[in-house]
């Protein structure tokens, strides 16, 4: 992996541990993540027409993604709880069977927000699946990944284009 010389959550005895960020500088940090859902074209059309029995799918998934980002430290054992300053979740439909979810998270803090952005898109994708599973159990959540991050000692990261 690029730029990784050692695992940061392993102590000198090889045990999992939470990273001590007390001496890190407070900086503005931003992370953007993405997840892709593949589904039947009829399912995506029903989402876009707000014709899903459980309600407005994208509005619900947006709220779920924001909540997921805010609860990341409760879900991922070694994550620090962060005072997020922004969580934005956006949807795009690049084809008739594909829903792309992107989340941007921001914090002024001592550690990054990559896990919050990844959690946001994951929870939003799972919410779409939950709300639409009666219509399409074959939906596939794929390509969940970090697109970019900035801030902190490790600097800027940009994912390779797919």
Q: Catalytic residue numbers?
A: 130
Tell me the two tokens of residue 14: 């090889």
Tell me the two tokens of residue 105: 């998270």
The C-alpha atoms of residue 101 and residue 68 are separated, in whole angstroms, by: 14
Distance of CA 103 to the CA centre of its chain: 6
Tracing tokens 């102590």 back to the chain, one arrives at: 11
Distance of CA 48 to the CA centre of its chain: 22
CA distances in angstroms from 39 to 81, 83, 89, 127, 139, listed in the order given: 34, 35, 20, 14, 5
Could you say which DSSP state residue 96 is in? T
């Amino acid at each position: 992996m690029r730029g990784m010389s050692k695992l940061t959550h392993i102590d000198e005895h090889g045990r999992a541990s939470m990273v001590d960020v007390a001496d890190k500088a407070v900086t503005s940090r931003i992370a953007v993540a993405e997840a892709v859902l593949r589904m039947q074209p009829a399912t995506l059309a029903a989402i876009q027409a707000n014709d899903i029995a459980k309600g407005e799918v994208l509005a619900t998934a947006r709220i779920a993604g924001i909540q997921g980002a805010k609860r990341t430290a409760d879900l991922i054992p070694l994550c620090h709880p962060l005072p997020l300053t922004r969580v934005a979740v956006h949807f795009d439909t690049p084809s008739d069977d594909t829903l792309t979810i992107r989340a941007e998270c921001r914090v002024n803090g001592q550690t990054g927000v990559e896990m919050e952005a990844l959690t946001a898109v994951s929870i939003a994708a799972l919410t779409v699946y939950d709300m639409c599973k009666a219509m399409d159990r074959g939906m596939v959540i794929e390509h969940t990944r970090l697109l970019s991050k900035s801030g902190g000692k490790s600097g800027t990261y940009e994912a390779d284009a797919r």
